Amino acid sequence: MSKKPNLKDVAKVAGVSAITVSRVLTDPTKVSDKLRNKVEKAIHDIGYIRNHAASALASKKSGVLAVIIPSLSNIVFNDVLQGIYQAVKAKNLQVLLGDCHYSPLIEEQLIATLLSQSPEGFIVTGTAQTDYARKLLLQADIPVVQIMELTNQPIDMNIGFSHYQAGYDMTKHLLQQGYRAPAFVGARMDPRTQQRLAGFKQAIADWPEPCRSFIQTTVQPSSIKLGGQLLQAVIAESNNQCDAVFCCNDDLALGALFESKRMNLSVPKDIAICGFNDLEASALVEPAITSVASPRVEMGRQAVEMLFSAAGKGRHAVAPVDVGYSIRVRSST
């Protein structure tokens, strides 16, 4: 079996010292472009694999950023990851990514596993971590950013927007359009969806005129097909009185739109439909779907910048950031 290439082998092939190779790996800004290219070519030619653990012990820096999201298949979180990867590209960092499948317990296990890799910073989705997960992140003594929603008690730093207020404002929009029997339909019912539902309920309660409301939720994962099923359930529950449906995301809204056509319901005359997350398809269907939009790519980018701004400054070195949201009003409402 051939010997595994080491740092000295890279130095020999590149014709430089081992110290130069180490500098290229840990802080490439300290060497010239010519030297760096030479070393990187040697690394590629001999198939050298860097020992991150050893580098971390020597330099106190692992070159690793830990990130946990709830779903790799959800385009919402893919947008956030796009912003994260854009930001780390110039930072000489590698991303260690975990998918917790919306499970607080799996998230807890992932946090413990990723912290064992000595990351320089940690980005977690949401603010509903378990007590033990919070304890692990607090004791890690590294910058931590909770993303996607806002909280009054962040572990360290926080960037996101109010899902409660967005739910409230979307419901208010429906009421202002004259709809008086709106429904909320939700899937999976993760904390952010629950906040949107709370906003829906409060907007109904605050409206000065009498109106009816309906709620259909499930813990099933969201899908376009499920959106159609939930619309059917709402129509049946309301005895055909429901005149607007606020879907917790655009997948459900698309399904509700397709099902409304099968049921010969005119949108928005017979029933209005709106969603959340403003996916590309929502603006392309007919009628186009009203939805809540937020700057997800920018949120991911800013989360990384917050980590670097806080490095070495202690807890809560950077103030919480509200990235806001907007309601994209389209013909479905």
Please state the domain count of the chain. 3
Q: Do 270 and 174 share a structural domain? A: yes
Same domain, 238 and 284: yes
Distance CA 311, CA 231 (A): 48
The enclosing domain of 312 has a CATH number of: 3.40.50.2300
280 shares a domain with 186: yes
**Whether 203 and 145 share a structural domain:** no
Pair (28, 83) in one structural domain? no
Q: Is 260 among the domain residues?
A: yes
100 occurs within a structural domain: yes
Core vs surface per residue 169-199: b (16+ CB within 10 A) or e: bbbbbbbebebebbbbbbbbebebbbbbbeb
Q: Which long-range contacts (CB under 8 A, 24 or more apart) does 74-77 make?
A: 75/279, 76/249, 76/277, 76/296, 77/125
Angle between helices 18-26 and 33-46 in degrees, nearest 10? 100
Q: Note whether residue 59 is domain-resident.
A: no
Class of residue 268 by CB neighbours under 10 A (exposed 0-12, middle 13-18, buried 19+): buried
Distance CA 215, CA 237 (A): 9
pLDDT in tens, 62-78: 789 999 999 999 999 99
Specify whether 155 is located in the same domain as 228: no
* Lowest-confidence pick of 5-19, 65-79, 160-174, 247-261: 5-19
Q: Which of 237, 175, 181, 244 is nearest to 212 (CA)?
A: 181
- pLDDT at position 79, please? 97
Beta bridge partners of 139: none
Determine what percent of the chain is predicted with pLDDT higher than 70: 95
Residue 51 has pLDDT above 70, yes or no: no
Radius of gyration of the chain (CA): 25
Quick: pLDDT tens for 157-176: 999 999 999 999 999 999 99
Mark whether 302 and 252 lie in a shared domain: no
Kindly report whether the global pTM for this prediction surpasses the value 0.85: no
The runs of H, that is alpha helices, within 4-130 are 7-14, 18-26, 33-46, 52-59, 75-88, 104-115
Regarding whether 120 and 103 lie in a shared domain, the answer is yes
Q: Is residue 208 part of a domain?
A: yes
Query: Do the domain assignments include residue 88?
Result: yes
Angle between helix 18-26 and helix 52-59 axes, rounded to 10 deg: 90
Both structure tokens of 30: 């300290």
Q: Which domain holds residue 116?
A: 64-160+296-326
What is the model's pLDDT at position 307? Answer: 93
**Token pair belonging to 10:** 């890279």
Residue 1 domain-assigned? no
Same domain, 16 and 73: no
Question: Are residues 260 and 283 both part of a single domain?
Answer: yes
Position 332 in a domain: no
